[in-house]
Every structure is written in C-alpha cells, then in structure tokens.
Structure 1
Amino acid sequence: MRGITRRRALQAGGSLLAAPAIVHHANAQSGFDWKRFRGERIEVSVQLSPRGTLLQQNNREFEELTGIRCGIEVVPEQQHRQKIIVEYASGRPSFDATEISLHVNKRQVGKARWNTDVKALIADASLTAPDFDFADFGAGMVQYATQSDGRMDSLPAFADYFILYYNKELLAARNVAVPTTWEEMFEAAKRLADPSKQVYGHVGRGVKNANVVLWSSYLLGTNQRDMIDANRQLITDTPEAIWAGETYKRFLRDVSPPGSIGFNWNECQTTFMQGRAAMWVDGIGFAAPLEDRTRSRVAGKVGYALVPRGPGASHHCALFGAGYAIPEASRKKGPAWLWIQWALSKQNQLKFLASGAGVPARSSPFANEAAIGASHFPREFFHTLSESAKIARAGLPEIVPVTQFRDVIGTALTNTISGADVAAELKRATAEFRPVLEQSERES
C-alpha cells in the first residue's frame, strides 16, 4: 500500500487536485476560516487500507491548510474495529475523528449514541466550508450513514464493491474466457490451475469471520438476497444459503492454494499479486496495490469484471462501506470536523477514485474525465466500478452483533473446508446465533 504515492495521486487528478488555493479563495468570500483552530492538535484513527495510507501520506496538506497538528493512526481493519469500540465504551476515546465500518458497527454505535450528528455541523456556516457541497454525496451512501432515528452520525466516506479480479496473462495462455457465472468460474479455475508451478485457479478468504463476505457474495446470486427476513429473523440455513455454502466449499477446497483455511484478504492479495492465483473475488479497493509495479508481479496484467451470476434471477455484488465520525466525548469537535471535510473533500475523493484506493461517496469524481483518463488504471476498472454500483446490495445484515454473526457463521464455513457437511454446519450455526439476534433485537 506504500505504492500509493502523493505524486501518483496528484498526477491522476491533474490540476483539479490543487485544492488549497481554490478553497482559500472561496473562504475569502465567507465567514468560514480554515485557520480558525490553528495551534490545536487532534488525533485521528483510520483503518489500514489504500485510503488510510493516502490520507496519512497527505497529512501535511491538512496541517498547512488549517494550522492544526494532526496525528493519524493507521490500524489493521479487524483490530481497528475492536479498538474503537473498546475506547468508545470507556467514555474516553483517544481519537477525535475515526473511521466507522458501516457494515459492521453502524447499528452498534448508533444505538449507543457515541457519535456526533454531523447534520448540525453541516448546517453551521462558520464551521463548514462554502464549497463543501453536501449534495455531492450520493443519496445511497447518505442513507447508509444515517441511523434509523434520522441522525447521521458519520459522514459517508466510500463504498466498497466486491468484484472479480483476474490475471489476464493466465487466462489468455489457456484461452479461457472471463466467467460470467459461478459455475463457469469454477470450471475455469480447474483449467487454469498448475500446481507444479504453484499456480491455482482461485484464491479466497478461508479464515473465520473474514470468509462470511465471500459466502454472502455467492448468496447474493440466488433468489435470497438477505440473511435476515422482513421480520428480522435469521435465515442462514435455507436451500439458497446451503447452495452458497457448497459453492464456497468447492472453491476453497478444490481450486485454491493449500492453507487457504487460514487466508484473510492480505494473504489473498499477496497470492494474487505474486501471480499464483488466476482469479480472486474481493473488494475493489485492492486494485491499488495490485497495480503497484514496485510490489506486484501482475501490475498491468490485472483484469476487472463484475462478480459472476448465481442460479437465481437476481444479480448482485456485495456492498460494504465506511464513514468518518466524531465522538461525542471529543473536546475538539470543530478541528475534527475540519479534518473530515478535508479528508472527504472533492479533491481527496477524486484521489481515492483515480488512484484506485476506493469508490468515493461523492458523485463528482465520476464526472472528471480528465482525471480518469490520466489514471494508470484501465477503462475496464472504471467500467466495472460503475456497473457494480448498479447491482450493489449490502453484503452483511445490519444488526448490532454483526461480529458475533461473522464469527459463528464463519466458523461453520471454515469447518466445511475441513470436510464438514455444509447443511449440518449452517443449521447448527443458525440455531446457535438465532437467540443472540433475537436478544439483540429486543434490546434495540
């Protein structure tokens, strides 16, 4: 992820990334002042990702713009989620702004009312830059960041769609077409494998918890598109869910590298970028390290496509996302709000898109043809991104105990890689988690 350099991001965005001069000119015509909190210091905690790395690398830009000193902590994804919840619960979080995984923690932080409602900050002309342009944020992402009681306790940052990465060179060598269904993908993976060269047809998440989002990607290709029904009841042992489990088992056991049972996204990424896997389904944000020629052997050889279709009439890809939030306990809400505005400005959101660091929550980057044309990513990447947006659907249920859900269902899936019966494992896991969900729903 160190391959996402400031120079590359600036080149991708062209002259429109010269943000501070434009912003200062606008400020001169209003009561807003970027320097209002000069001399203050804030702490920010974000997840380790191409986006977090980009913001950390460009932190000096924020400090020069505002006069605020900013410490940015970048923490691996799962550890970050655990860390912030522990700190929130303590009543004394160490951060003034943080990243929130909406697909994991939205309902939990909303129920506890741990974060500030940013609607009030947006409405305050003395705290919000005149060119902030809240209307530029996509309606779907705004809704994703809004709690059921109407509070928007994080500003939507980015969406993450699951896509199909494929090694163009490997597919071309065997004259294999890009698969459009899961069955085609499995058959292609068998043809593309060459264990004598330590090359496998597929790589995917096998470790418990992390593997649930791959299973849900299969489930989204059936006529069942959710893991809880309209009555908030758990439905993870249906025929469709079992089909998704069987598909997961086949891919991980039959066409993936040995040891995949312990793979998370980082092991998958390393395997794919070394040219040892022909296909990989995961989040679109991993495109950046794959195209980093200083680290990846497949840079320039990566193909991008929609996730394959399943046996159902629907075709969906899994959607995940994040927002940036300010703890109610922070004594520096004003400086923290300036950081969020800078981090999610049109210019930085354009950097996210053009550098392949993720899918911005704002709409304007997609209209910047100059930046897209200058990007080192192929047109196929942006086409896949825009088409994925049309079929995206939440990849996890919006519940409070989502981590427990991922642990319980994930353990069942991991067991199947070792040979356990899929139907039996999902029925056991569903029975185990059902009372947990029911208790949580009663308390909500």
Structure 2
Amino acid sequence: MRSITRRTALGGGAALLSAPAIVEKAGAQSAFDWRRFRGERIEVTVQLSPRGQLLQQAGKEFEDLTGIKLGLEVVPEQQHRQKTIVEFASGRPSFDVTEVSLHVNKRQVGKARWCADVKALVADPALTAPDFDFADFGEGMVKYATQADGRMDTLPAFADYFILYYNKELLAARNVEVPKTWDEMFEAAKRLTDASKQVHGHVGRGLKNANVVLWSSYLLGTPQRDMIDANRQLITDTPDAVWAGETYRKFLRDVSPPGSIGFNWNECQTTFMQGRAAMWVDGIGFAAPLEDRTRSRVAGKVGYALVPRGPGPEHHCALFGAGYGIPEASRKKGPAWLFIQWALSKPMQLRMLADGRGVPARASPFRNEEAIGRSHFPREFFQTLEASSKIARAGLPEIVPVTQFRDVVGTALTNTISGADVAAELKRATAEFRPVLEQSERET
C-alpha cells in the first residue's frame, strides 16, 4: 500500500491533457462552491492500475481545487478487494471513497447496502457541479453500476475490455499475420517462440484466481459463452468449458515463458514490455506502460487487435469494470462526493482514454478527436477499443461468491498447467462450487 504524498502527486508522469485545464474548467463554475469543505480530509482507496496511478499523479489538482486534503492509497488488486470487504464488514471502514470491482463485488456490496446511493447526490444541486452532466455516462455502464433494487451505489468509472496485444516487430520478423482465431493464434505463437533467445509466442495469467478471466475469454468464443445458465445453474464442466480449459492449458504450457503458472497481469505486462513475448491477451487498461519509452522496450512497436474468435457463431471479448462508492458509514459524504465528481469528470475521463489507461464510463471522450489525435497511442488502439465495445460480454458471472468461484476454478486451471486432466479438474471444481452457488442464490 502506498499513500499519496505531495511529492508523489507532483512527480507523476505527464498526462496528455494539462492539469491546469482541469482546475480552470471546474473553477469556472462560479455558481458552485468547490471549496465549501476546505480544511477537511478524506481517505480514498483504489486498486493498483493505470487508473489508480492517474489519480495518484493528479491528486494535488483536487487539493488545489477544493482545499480538501487527500489521503489516497493504491493497493494491489486482490489485496484491495480483501481489504475493503473486511473493513466494510467491520462497520468502520477507514476510507470515504473506494473503488468497487463490479465484476467481483457488485452483488455483495449491494446486498449488504455498504455504499450510499449516489442518485440522491447527483440530484442535489448544492453538492453536484452544474457541468457534471450525468447523462454523459453511458447507459450500459450506468446499468452495470445499478443494483437489482434500483440503487446505484457506485458511480461507474471505467470499462475494461480484453484485447490482443502483439509485438509488431516479432511478427514481422517471422512473417506472421495477426491471428483472427484462437487456433491461428496458437500456431502463430509456436512459430514465434524462440527459447534460445528467451522469447515466447504468448504470455498469459497462470496464477490461480487471476487466470479465470483468460479461460473465460476462450469460453466466450464457444456456443455456450457463459458460466451459469438462464436458471442460475453452474455449467463449468461442459464440453465447451473443457475446450476452453484445454485451450488455456496449451497456451500456458506450450508457448508461454517458464514460471507462467505464477503470473498475474503485472508479470505478463513486464514480460511483454521487455520484448520477451509476442502476444498477450488482457485488459485494454494495461496499455499505458507499453508505450512509455522510458520503461518499455516495445514502445512504438505494439499492435492492438480484437481478441481472436472461437468456434462459436458469435464473437465476444470479456468485459470488466469498476465504480467508485461512498460507504454509508462515512461521515464525510459531501467531500467524498466532490472527489468522485472530480475523479470522474469529463476532463479526467478524457485523460484516461487519451493516455491509454482504460475505457471511460462517459461517452464524451470518444468524441474528442483533437485530444485523441494528439495521443501517443496509434489510431489502431482507439479503433480496437471502439470495436471491442460492440462485442463485449461479461467476463465473470454476476454472483456474490465470485472470488470463491475464481479460487476454485482457478485452482483447477493451474493444476492443468502442471499436467492434470482438464475434464477431470473442471468436473471436480464444478462439483465443489455448485453447492456454494446454490446456497448463495437461496440467500440472495
């Protein structure tokens, strides 16, 4: 965990859009008092990601705009989820704003009513700036952040589509075309692997829990697509699920670096950045460091494409996302709401998009051709993002025990990398998790 300091905020990498522009635009709303809570201090906790790092780098802008002191911690993904749930359950969370993974904790947070309904805050002109423009948030993302009972207990922050990253230089050297199907990708990865140079055709998540979203990317390309059926029954040991598991195993065992069994997204990103992997399927929000010439050996050489097609009739990519929520237990809901407005303002969301840090929940950034044109990301990146939005489908089932689901299925997948039979592992995992899901569904 790292708390933001003034020095950290000032020392972060330069963003595409100038910081003063954000402060100036917000401050120009003379009818709205951004400094009504000056002198207060709020605590914010977000996940370690390009989005979290953007907030870390720009934090002083919020302090200058509002006069509110900002304590902001950036915590690795899985530890962050554990921390927030433990603190919520205690009834005394240490934070006033938290990032909530909608694909993991939406139903859990909603069922417990841990976060305040932000609809009331949006409707309050004394607390919401006149240029906030709630209608600018995409309808799909608003629905994603809304609970079944109609409460919107987070404001949607970003979507994350899985895409195919590829090293243009490595593919060109072997005269390999960008693959359009998973089978083509595996054959390409075999051709691109050169163990003598420590270069592999593919890198992907092997670590249990984290690896389920790669397996689900394969499953989305089958006729089955989903992990639970229309009757809310678990279907993770079917022929399609086994095909996805076998595809996962051969990519991780045959064309990925040694040690991939312990890789999460950050190890994959580092491997790709070092030029030691030709192809990588993961979230589009992890693109920014790849184009950082001070850190990445592949900057300017990265290609972006849709995830390959599977054997099914429809083409899908995995969708994930998050929102920012305010605990019901917080005594600083006003200052916390100002932070969320600033963090998810039009300029900050445009900054996220143009700097390659993720897919904003707002619609307006996609219409800003001037900013996109000045981005250091190629046009191909934005074209892939737009095309992915049209084929995106939830990459995890929307269930309360989703973390346990990822642990159980993820362990099975990890076992297959070590040589275990795919069908047997998925049958065992399904039998283990099915009663957990059934109990959860009865309680929901």
TM range (shorter): over 0.9
Alignment partners' CA distance in 2, 1:25 and 1:185: 51
Q: What is the Cα deviation at residue 14 of structure 1?
A: 6.3
Aligned to 1:142: 142
Alignment partners' CA distance in 1, 2:413 and 2:27: 53
TM-score by length of 2: 0.97
SS in 2 for 1:300: coil
Unaligned segments of structure 2, at least 5 residues = 1-7
Matches within 5 A, 1:279-298: 279-298=279-298
Contact 1:146–1:153 (Cα < 8 Å) also in 2: yes
Alignment partners' CA distance in 1, 2:234 and 2:417: 23
Contact 1:14–1:370 (Cα < 8 Å) also in 2: no
Contact 2:222–2:240 (Cα < 8 Å) also in 1: yes
Question: Are 1:219 and 2:223 an aligned pair?
Answer: no
SS in 2 for 1:18: helix
Aligned to 1:121: 121
Q: What is the Cα deviation at residue 225 of structure 1?
A: 1.7
Aligned to 2:24: 21
Alignment partners' CA distance in 2, 1:404 and 1:209: 8
SS in 2 for 1:403: helix
Alignment partners' CA distance in 2, 1:434 and 1:120: 38
Alignment partners' CA distance in 2, 1:210 and 1:23: 38
Alignment partners' CA distance in 2, 1:22 and 1:285: 26
Taking a change above 3 Å as real, the CA distance of residues 345 and 6 of structure 1, as seen in their structure-2 partners, is farther
Alignment partners' CA distance in 2, 1:302 and 1:217: 21
1:101-150 per-position Cα deviation (integer Å, ceiling 9, x unaligned): 00000000000000000000000000000000000000000000000000
Unaligned segments of structure 1, at least 5 residues = none
Question: Are 1:264 and 2:274 an aligned pair?
Answer: no
Question: Are 1:92 and 2:92 an aligned pair?
Answer: yes
Taking a change above 3 Å as real, the CA distance of residues 371 and 6 of structure 1, as seen in their structure-2 partners, is farther
Alignment partners' CA distance in 2, 1:198 and 1:266: 18
TM-score by length of 1: 0.97
Q: What is the Cα deviation at residue 7 of structure 1?
A: 6.1
Alignment partners' CA distance in 2, 1:251 and 1:177: 18
Alignment partners' CA distance in 2, 1:61 and 1:263: 35
Alignment partners' CA distance in 2, 1:6 and 1:269: 20
Alignment partners' CA distance in 2, 1:117 and 1:206: 37
1:264-309 per-position Cα deviation (integer Å, ceiling 9, x unaligned): 1111111111000000000001110111111111111000000000
1:157-209 per-position Cα deviation (integer Å, ceiling 9, x unaligned): 00000000000000000000000000000000000010000000000001110
- One-letter amino acid of the counterpart of residue 177, structure 1: E
Alignment partners' CA distance in 2, 1:175 and 1:361: 38
* Poorly superposed stretches of 4+, deviation over 6 Å: none
Q: What is the Cα deviation at residue 259 of structure 1?
A: 1.1
Matches within 5 A, 1:178-257: 178-257=178-257
Identity over aligned pairs, percent: 83
- One-letter amino acid of the counterpart of residue 21, structure 1: E
Q: What is the Cα deviation at residue 226 of structure 1?
A: 1.1
Matches within 5 A, 1:368-379: 368-379=368-379
- One-letter amino acid of the counterpart of residue 201, structure 1: G
Taking a change above 3 Å as real, the CA distance of residues 7 and 56 of structure 1, as seen in their structure-2 partners, is closer
Contact 1:252–1:417 (Cα < 8 Å) also in 2: yes
Equivalences, count: 437
SS in 2 for 1:64: helix
SS in 2 for 1:19: helix
Alignment partners' CA distance in 2, 1:69 and 1:237: 51
Q: What is the Cα deviation at residue 22 of structure 1?
A: 2.2
Alignment partners' CA distance in 2, 1:439 and 1:22: 50
Q: What is the Cα deviation at residue 6 of structure 1?
A: 5.6
Contact 1:121–1:127 (Cα < 8 Å) also in 2: yes
SS in 1 for 2:206: coil
Alignment partners' CA distance in 1, 2:369 and 2:187: 38
Alignment partners' CA distance in 2, 1:235 and 1:398: 14
Aligned to 2:75: 75
- One-letter amino acid of the counterpart of residue 310, structure 1: G
Aligned to 1:404: 404
SS in 2 for 1:8: coil
SS in 2 for 1:78: helix
> Superposition RMSD on alpha carbons, in Å?
1.4
Q: What is the Cα deviation at residue 20 of structure 1?
A: 2.2
SS in 2 for 1:295: coil
Matches within 5 A, 1:296-307: 296-307=296-307
- One-letter amino acid of the counterpart of residue 78, structure 1: Q
1:377-405 per-position Cα deviation (integer Å, ceiling 9, x unaligned): 00000000000000000000000000000
- One-letter amino acid of the counterpart of residue 22, structure 2: A
